[in-house]
Chains A and B, each alone.
Chain A
Amino acid sequence: MTATILSANLPPAKFDTLPLPQRGGAGLKSRHVDAILESGCDIGFFEVHAENYMGAGGLPHAQLTAIRQNYPLSLHGVGMSIGGADKIDMDHLKRFKAVMDRYQPSMVSEHLAWSTHDDVFYNDLLPVPYTDQTLESVINHVDQVQTFLGRQILIENPSTYVTFQQSTWIEFDFMGEIARRSGCGLLFDVNNVFVSATNHNYSPQDYINAYPLHLVQQIHLAGYATDSDDDGETLLIDAHDRPVSENVWDLYQLTLSRTGPLPSLIEWDNNVPEWEILAEEVYRADVLLRSFSDEKKTLRAIR
């Protein structure tokens, strides 16, 4: 704790309604806040998990207030259980809105996953079978959340370890249909694409080429762990515990070549390193984003 975090009650104003910049961002960790504020580092934006700021007061709010005064913010939910059969938990949605109203994020996002069933919260992003029935349910939930929050949200594609025999939709079509019918945007997690493609034996490049990329407004990047499955085949785990792997950086470039520059977040939630190491990952994304930004300008000039 340093004396930098004292202005907990000042209204955040600097980036009120601006969209996130087309730059690299970092998932915010409490232990990094002092280093970030002291260095005044040039980071495009920060993202936080809404659930970590649902307490009444104390250090978490003081830190986020100080960050919010200096950087644009993206608010990411991990507990809404949008892909679950249960109704949306209104108490949780109200708490989520309170965090949103307080910190005025530029973007709000959640997952295509479920985590609550029969009132029990499993604290994990559990996989959804892709059927007409689950599609209707997800669209209704997204619609309900967007209506209550009074704004568009982004839905993130999952990383999965199992598939469902009952699934009748391909994931990228399912994502596109959710967005088309609910009016939500998409958050494209490139690491999740690589993890799922490896685990379910399809081409991540084909997946990216078939994805409704025109609906994507933000990108996530993270590191994965390598394990093996029941047959001794490679099983990748979405671990968020290490640097982004080179093959994910390659897929990120393929994505940017299709989408142009987009706000791109580095997620590093376990075995969290020193701030400088995480910042290096963010700057690497920045360099790539700049190259695609320049490319876009050049193309425009040629035309």
Chain B
Amino acid sequence: MTSLPLPHTLHNTAFSDALLDPDTAIPSGVGKNGQAAPKRFGVYRNNVVVGLMDALKSAYPSLLAIMGEENFSRVARNFILASPPRSPMMQVYGQAFPEFLRDFKPLAKSPFLFDVAIAERCWLQAYHAPDAAILEPQQLGAVDPDLVMGMTFKVHPAAHLIQSGFPLCDLFDARNTWPCIGIDLANPQDLLITRPNYECLTTRVTRPQVVFLHALINLRTLAEAIETASRGDESFEPSMAISVFLQTGLFTSINLRAQQDT
């Protein structure tokens, strides 16, 4: 029996179908001396799945620590089959992993995993974000006192502010400190991710600070942001919140126009 040579496209289709699905037959004529060789073909299967699994593990190290190798790998394998990469840029692979986790039925009782995944995705985006110089305290100090309350700020391209109903900072730290003892799931924490130089910085912020920073990120003036945050919590301290954004490099520059326009 002679087999007709497969056209190139059909060959790639048959080969790639068998790569991701171990139940799909290995294409004929692929193997050793013309004979099928599942173990040899298995090297490619293994390379592909392990390679993608490793990419997810390195993108989501906190999830890996919290879930453990076995559980993480089970979910990751499902994700890889459902959403294989569409680009050779592996640093963007797994962008849809948080939503996949959220909708993955066996994990429905662990909704905090979604928040951790979101934070890790933001961290990775911050890591690869464009470079930008951060706002220095002296730039703020040099502003005419009459214009200070009308200032708006330009947010740094690496910055992410994440509000969570879970102890997100403690959970995110699992990448460094797992196993953590005594994480209280009823203790919500909000997380600010910034990249003032080339290293990502994770900072725990209070809920009133989140309200304040969120207003500033949305181009509200300093006066408006203070008012919004104080309305929600009378104990809100603007000076503390300002030092948070200066120390973390949340903003790149000041805009005084808002005050001048009014």
Contacts and interface: CB of A to CB of B under 8 A. Distances in A.
A163 B127 contact: no
A34 B212 CA distance: 38
A138 to B, nearest CB: 10
Contact of A117 (B12, B34, B40, B51): B12
B43 to A, nearest CB: 4
Interface residues of A, number: 58
Contacts of A131: 5, 8
B19 interface: yes
Given A122-B16, A123-B48, A230 B38 contact: yes
Given A230-B38, A235-B40, A121 B6 contact: no
Contacts of A80: 88
Given A80-B88, A118-B12, 7 more contacts: A1-B199, A57-B129, A59-B198, A161-B43, A162-B37, A227-B43, A229-B40
Interface string B131-157: 100000000000000000000000001
Nearest to B16: A117
B29 A164 contact: yes
A95 B89 CA distance: 10
9 contacts: A5-B198, A54-B91, A57-B129, A57-B130, A120-B85, A122-B19, A122-B85, A123-B93, A228-B39
B89 to A, nearest CB: 5
Interface in B89-148: 89-91, 93, 126-131
B250 interface: no
Contacts of B127: 55, 58-59
Q: Which of A1, A61, A162: most chain B CB closer than 10 A?
A: A162
A129 interface: yes
Interface string A42-77: 000000000110111111111000000000000000
Interface in B23-62: 28-34, 37-41, 43-44, 47-48, 51-52, 55
A137 B8 contact: yes
Interface stretch (A19-27, A84-92, A260-268): A84-92
B86 A121 contact: yes
A188 B220 CA distance: 60
Range for the number of chain B residues in contact with chain A? 35 or more
Nearest to A233: B32
A57 B128 contact: yes
A224 interface: no
A288 to B, nearest CB: 30
Contacts of A52: 91
B32 A166 contact: no
Given A118-B16, A137-B8, A235-B43, A124 B48 contact: yes
Q: Which of B8, B129, B199: most chain A CB closer than 10 A?
A: B8
A192 to B, nearest CB: 14
Given A114-B12, A120-B84, A166-B5, A51 B90 contact: yes
A133 interface: yes
B12 A85 contact: yes
Contacts of B9: 85-86
Given A58-B198, A123-B90, A86 B37 contact: no
B39 to A, nearest CB: 4
Nearest to B39: A230
B43 A121 contact: no
Contacts of B40: 161-162, 199, 229-230, 235
Given A58-B128, A120-B16, A161 B85 contact: no
A108 to B, nearest CB: 16
Interface in B55-90: 55, 84-90
A226 interface: no
B52 A123 contact: yes
Contacts of B93: 123
Contacts of A279: none
Contact of B30 (A57, A123, A162): A162
B32 A119 contact: no
A124 B44 contact: yes
Q: Which of B41, B47, B51, B158: most chain A CB closer than 10 A?
A: B47
B11 A51 contact: no
A62 B198 contact: yes
Q: 3 closest pairs, A vs B, by CB?
A: A79-B88, A55-B128, A165-B29
A59 B88 CA distance: 20
Contacts of A126: 15-16, 19, 44
Interface string A1-40: 1000100100000000000000000000000000000000
A57 B88 contact: no
A144 to B, nearest CB: 16
A165 B89 CA distance: 33
Given A126-B44, A162-B31, A165-B3, A230 B37 contact: yes
Q: Which of B41, B91, B158: most chain A CB closer than 10 A?
A: B91
A263 to B, nearest CB: 25
Nearest to B33: A163
A126 B30 CA distance: 12
A154 interface: no
B160 interface: no
